[in-house]
Amino acid sequence: MKNLMMMALVLAPTTAFAHASLETKTAPANSAYEAAIRIGHGCDGQPTLEVRVELPDGFTDAAPVAKDGWEASLAETASGVREIVWQGGSLPADAKETFAITGRLGDLPAGSALAFPTRQVCADAQIAWVERAAPGVDPHSLDRPAPVLTIADTGAVVGAAHAGDLAIERAWVRGVPPGAPVAGGYLTIVNSGTAPDRLLGGSTDFAGAVEVHEMAMTNGMMTMAPLPEGLPLPPGETVTLSPGGYHLMFLELSAPPKPGDTVTVTLDFAEAGPVEVTMPVSQFGAGAFPGGDGAGGHGHGEGDAHGTSHGSSH
């Protein structure tokens, strides 16, 4: 490792380039998190052939997001540092791409910082994005800063709630135009307990009814139907309601949710009971959580015709 560092010091150009950085730089503790690291350039004009990202303490269940043309693996260095390694691909020196790792953030204090030291390996050069700012030092003054995630103040996070062993994350409502008859809601539910629960539905003051729906292909047509028994939440599992899949259906809208607003929804669980969640309202047709951490902006969009298909089916 010492040799690698020496090479980096000798060969890294001193010009300021786009730094390797996280797409989502803040996230709440005790939540799912995708560390998507954007690589902005090669090593001194050479294509990047390998990317290694160290996994910080407090970030668990780490798994690489599959990436075309690359093979990813979890490795452990001799000193016990765990890292995700992408190999086998070649990223041109002038290309920008994202290498992502899914995982979970532990019970970390708000304001704490998790570094994801990142190394780009080229044919005969390397860049080590591993520098950490000392207290009182502006991180922008560093030549090769490590990508850093800051743990958000959970009191300020919309779209999240806890109830017993259930954690609700990234809950949002898709904005609809005035006059729309229905709207969809989406969220992730983590059941970290040992007993099953079920999401039965809910209530809110902007809709006459809140149901849990399932979407399915029937004879080549996308259809949806309420789940009469509710949505099962097996112990130890994470269940996601997302556009094109399970969703909350807000019916009989009295005030269609407007983009940029937040709405309060009480979710009804068979075991955990009622749980109130404040949900941000996205733009029309959005495919992912719009909340304040900038998530969803890197190619995971999953547009569907849900909004329009609902108009006629309800």
Residue whose beta carbon is closest to Cu ion: 213
Among 105, 167, 190, 249, binds Cu ion (CB under 5 A): 249
Site string for Cu ion, 10-49 (x = CB under 5 A): ----------------------------------------
Q: Which phi and psi (to 5°) does residue 146 adopt?
A: -75, 145
Site string for Cu ion, 77-96 (x = CB under 5 A): --------------------
Q: Give the pair of three-digit tokens for residue 174.
A: 């898709």
Q: Which stretch binds Cu ion (CB under 5 A): 18-26, 93-101, 136-144, 249-257?
A: 249-257
Q: How many residues line the site for Cu ion (CB under 5 A)? A: 3
CB 46 within 8 A of CB 93: yes
- Rounded to 5 degrees, what are φ and ψ at 306? -60, -50
- Cβ atoms of 127 and 93 closer than 8 Å: no
Whether the Cβ atoms of residue 189 and residue 196 lie closer than 8 Å to each other: no
Binding to Cu ion in span 200-239, by CB under 5 A: 213, 224
Q: Which residues ranging from 107 to 136 are in contact with Cu ion (CB under 5 A)?
A: none
Paired sense of beta strands 262-269 and 161-163, if any: unpaired
CA-CA distance, 117 to 298, in Å (whole number)? Answer: 21
Closest distance to Cu ion from the beta carbon of 296 (Å): 21
d(Cα 116, Cα 100) in Å, to the nearest integer?
11
Residue 241 lies near Cu ion (rule: CB under 5 A)? no
Tell me which residues touch Cu ion (CB under 5 A): 213, 224, 249
